[in-house]
A = this chain, B = another copy of it.
């Protein structure tokens, strides 16, 4: 089905499916790509996952996620860098060129956003060359400002690009995810900036629905259910030269409580309806 040619389903959207179920369902629905997460991949085995996905003829658009690079404590920091090198290794083994990075929040007791952002830059300086040697690009994901304290001190595309542009584009770029940036009137200009520098390493979709649930983690809306004009954002990344896969990544307790195959089919249908047609 040609309308799904650019579609990628991020594994978290249907985390109730095992990896074999996911691969099988993608085959049945004509879904050509998946985005994978480290934890389920590690549980199934990295090599076993790579073989499963390869045998199913699926592309792997991203591995989620590395990052959490804001620790001050030297031992914590070294452990984070080690873990990110393993994430690069896993991405390479899975056959994806893109590792998504969630930068990390403020260390306990700290109020210093600027300092935390600088420590991310330092870490990228160590990880970028390592990733390049393995054929993997790091994709800094700005997360919505509501996560600035506890999850990701990089809150806008402008901040992500300020970090990324200190390094070559084939080492460090950005993740453009509608959920995190849709409110930002500067984001279209930043997408153009990212495209001009060849730094749009992945494009992800989720819709914005309210009310937000407690903890604000698992309320990402199904495509078409919320406030975001998906075609508009697709237009921005395309005008910036991005013609790659479009990944739908939803964290949603309501979707997780349903039959995974049904959610997968619905998500593909919504993608065609709200993004492609």
> In the complex this chain forms, how many copies of it are found?
2
Bound CA–CA A49/B146 (angstroms): 36
Interface residues of A in 120-171 (CB under 8 A from B): 144-146, 148-150, 155-156, 158-159
Which one of B114, B149, B213 contacts A208 once the chains associate, using CB atoms below 8 Å?
Answer: B149
Which one of B145, B185, B210, B216 contacts A184 once the chains associate, using CB atoms below 8 Å?
Answer: B145
Pick the interface stretch among A35-43, A77-85, A226-234, A242-250: A226-234
* Interface band, chain A: 20 to 34
Q: Output the least CB separation between A181 and chain B (Å).
A: 9
Assess the B111–A229 pair: CB atoms within 8 A.
yes
Contacts A212-B212, A215-B211 given: A183-B227 contact, CB under 8 Å? no
Assess the B111–A146 pair: CB atoms within 8 A.
no
Contacts A111-B229, A229-B111 given: A216-B146 contact, CB under 8 Å? yes
A113 at the interface (CB under 8 A from B): yes
When distances are taken between beta carbons in the complex, the residues of chain B under 8 Å from A216 are 146, 211-212, 216
Assess the A228–B111 pair: CB atoms within 8 A.
yes
Chain B residue at minimum C-beta to C-beta distance from A209: B149
Assess the B229–A183 pair: CB atoms within 8 A.
no
Q: Output the least CB separation between A222 and chain B (Å).
A: 15
When distances are taken between beta carbons in the complex, the residues of chain B under 8 Å from A111 are 227-229, 232
Chain B residue at minimum C-beta to C-beta distance from A112: B229
Q: Output the least CB separation between A39 and chain B (Å).
A: 21
Interface residues of A in 165-188 (CB under 8 A from B): 182-186
When distances are taken between beta carbons in the complex, the residues of chain B under 8 Å from A71 are none
A23 at the interface (CB under 8 A from B): no
When distances are taken between beta carbons in the complex, the residues of chain B under 8 Å from A226 are 149
Bound CA–CA A184/B146 (angstroms): 11
When distances are taken between beta carbons in the complex, the residues of chain B under 8 Å from A112 are 229
A75 at the interface (CB under 8 A from B): no
Most buried by B among A149, A150, A156, A232: A149
Assess the A211–B214 pair: CB atoms within 8 A.
yes
When distances are taken between beta carbons in the complex, the residues of chain B under 8 Å from A215 are 211-212
Which one of B106, B110, B158, B227 contacts A149 once the chains associate, using CB atoms below 8 Å?
Answer: B227
When distances are taken between beta carbons in the complex, the residues of chain B under 8 Å from A145 are 144-146, 183-184
When distances are taken between beta carbons in the complex, the residues of chain B under 8 Å from A182 are 113, 148
| Leading 6 A-B pairs by shortest Cβ distance | A148-B183, A214-B214, A145-B183, A146-B146, A111-B229, A149-B227
Instruction: List, sorted by A's number, 15 A–B pairs whose CB atoms are closer than 8 Å.
Output: A111-B229, A113-B182, A113-B183, A144-B145, A144-B146, A145-B146, A146-B212, A148-B182, A148-B227, A150-B210, A150-B211, A155-B183, A156-B185, A211-B215, A211-B216
